[in-house]
Amino acid sequence: MNKIRILLFLCCSFQLFVVFGQEEDDDSYERKDKFPSYFGFQVRPLLPTQFIGNPITTIQQPVFSTSLTQTYGYSIGGIVRAGFTKRLAVETGIHYNIRKFDVDMSIPDSALYAKNDLTFITFEIPINLLVYIQMSKKVYASTALGVAMTFKPTDVGILTLPGGSNTFAHTGFAQRKFVLDFDAHFGVEYRTEKKGFFYLGGAAKIPFSPLFDLIATYKYQGNKTTYYGVVDGSFLAIELKYFFHNTRNKGEQFKPGPIE
C-alpha cells in the first residue's frame, strides 16, 4: 500500500511539473490583476475505499476480537481560489470533516456479540495548485494537487455494555493533533457570468500518518484486557462546489499612481 501511495504522488507531481513548465513559456502570460479571486463553499460525501487505503481495522486476539469499519461520512467548508495565470490558481479554505465508523466486538467461542458506532472529527486547511483545461466557452476541466494541514481537536471514545458484567471500551487516540495529508482533486466546472461557478468532481486524501490509534479494552469480573490497532485515514470523496460571481464596481475605477 505504501508503494501505491508513493507511485501516485510521483506521477501527480510529474504532471504538475510538466504543466507548470509549459506555462512559463506561454506568450499570453497576463498581469496578475487579470485573474481575480473567488470565494465559495463545498460539500463532500466521504466514501470508504480499499483503492488507496484500508477501511477496516481488525484486532483478533484470544480473549476478544474487534473491528472498526469506515462508513460514509461528510465534509463541509468554505474555499478561496486565487488565480495567477489563465491556467493556474491556488485553492485553499477550511473544511469540517465527520468520519464515521462501525465498531463490532465479540468473544471467541461465545455467543457474546455487540455493535456500536464511533465518530471522529477533523478540521483541515488545504493548499492546492489548480490546473485548468478549457473544454468549451463555459466548461473547464481541472486537476489539483497539494497538501492539507489537518487538525484533530479531541480524542473520542465509546462504552458498550452487551450484558451481564461484560464491558467493552474503544478509544480513538490521536498521537499528533496537527498532521499533513496528501491531497488530490479532479473535476469539471461550469462557469457563468452572473450565477457563479458550479463544480462537480472527485478527491482523494492520503494521510502521511494514521488517523488515530485504536485502544480496545474488555472487562469481565474485575479482569481487564487491552489491545491496540492503527486506523488508516485515507478516503475518496465526491466534491460539489459553488463559487460566487464577482461583482464589478460601476463607474470610473481608481488607478494607482504618484500623488501630484
Digit-coded pLDDT (tens) for 18-52: 444 444 444 444 444 567 789 999 999 999 888 88
Distances (CA, A) of 50 to 180, 204, 249: 21, 12, 50
C-alpha to C-alpha distance for 6 and 27, rounded to whole angstroms: 35
**In a domain? residue 134:** no
Residue range(s) defining the domain that contains residue 149: 2-91+102-119+139-198+208-243
**In a domain? residue 133:** no
pLDDT digits (tens, 9 = 90+) for 211-234: 999 999 999 988 999 999 999 989
**In a domain? residue 203:** no
Range with top average pLDDT, 2-16, 179-193, 244-258: 179-193
Per-residue pLDDT at 29? 42
**In a domain? residue 72:** yes
Q: Tell the residue number behind the cell numbers 463553499, with chain if given.
A: 41
**In a domain? residue 256:** no
**Residue 91 burial (CB < 10 Å; 0-12/13-18/19+)?**
buried
Per-residue pLDDT at 252? 54
Q: pTM here?
A: 0.80
**In a domain? residue 186:** yes
**In a domain? residue 130:** no
Number of structural domains the chain divides into: 1
**In a domain? residue 128:** no
Which residues are CB-contacts of 85 (< 8 A; sequence separation ≥ 6)? 23, 26, 29, 30, 35
Per-residue pLDDT at 251? 52
C-alpha to C-alpha distance for 240 and 197, rounded to whole angstroms: 11
pLDDT digits (tens, 9 = 90+) for 124-173: 999 999 999 999 999 999 999 999 999 999 999 999 998 888 999 999 99
What's the residue count for the chain? 260
Per-residue pLDDT at 200? 98
- Joined grid coordinates for residue 29: 502570460
C-alpha to C-alpha distance for 201 and 189, rounded to whole angstroms: 8
Please name the amino acid found at residue 230: V
